[in-house]
Structure 1
Amino acid sequence: MSPEGAAVEAGRRARQAAALRENLLKRRAQKRGRDDAARQAGTGLSEGEAGQPLEDAPEVK
């Protein structure tokens, strides 16, 4: 590959990596926002029940 071609390829890869990083940060921020909203709204579960698998969860009457 010519030096010019290598430089073009390196630039393309750098732009692609920057776009992937930006998208990752956006997704993390969105998830953080959803988590914060759920925390503020409350889920109806006590702190201990929230992470339990269904078979270990208390029975709903």
Structure 2
Amino acid sequence: MAEKKKPSGNRSEASREDRLKAALKANMARRKAQAKARSEQKDAASGDAEG
């Protein structure tokens, strides 16, 4: 059987792509913030142990 496609194919694909790009950008920003927080915690923990 052939796949069923919506009549507005290109527009829906573009909007899906835009949603995916936005979700990826938000995910990367969240991961970067998490990594930075972990790094700061690690640095603070090692600084406390030295002092």
Task: Report the TM-score range of the alignment, normalised by the length of the smaller protein.
Answer: 0.7 to 0.9
- The alignment status of 1:38 with 2:38, answered yes or no, reads no
> What TM-score comes out, normalization by structure 1 length?
0.62
Greater helix proportion? 2
Q: Report the number of matched residues.
A: 43
Offset of residue 4 of structure 1 = 2.0
Q: Percent identity?
A: 35
- Say yes or no: does 1:22 pair with 2:26: yes
Deviations 1:4-33 (A, max 9, x none): 211100000000010111110000000000
Specify every segment of 5 or more residues in structure 2 that has no aligned partner in the other structure, as ranges: 1-6
Q: CA RMSD of the aligned region, Å?
A: 2.1
Structure 1 alignment gaps of length 5 or more: 46-61
Question: What TM-score, normalized by structure 2, do the two folds share?
Answer: 0.73
Runs of 4+ off more than 3 Å: none
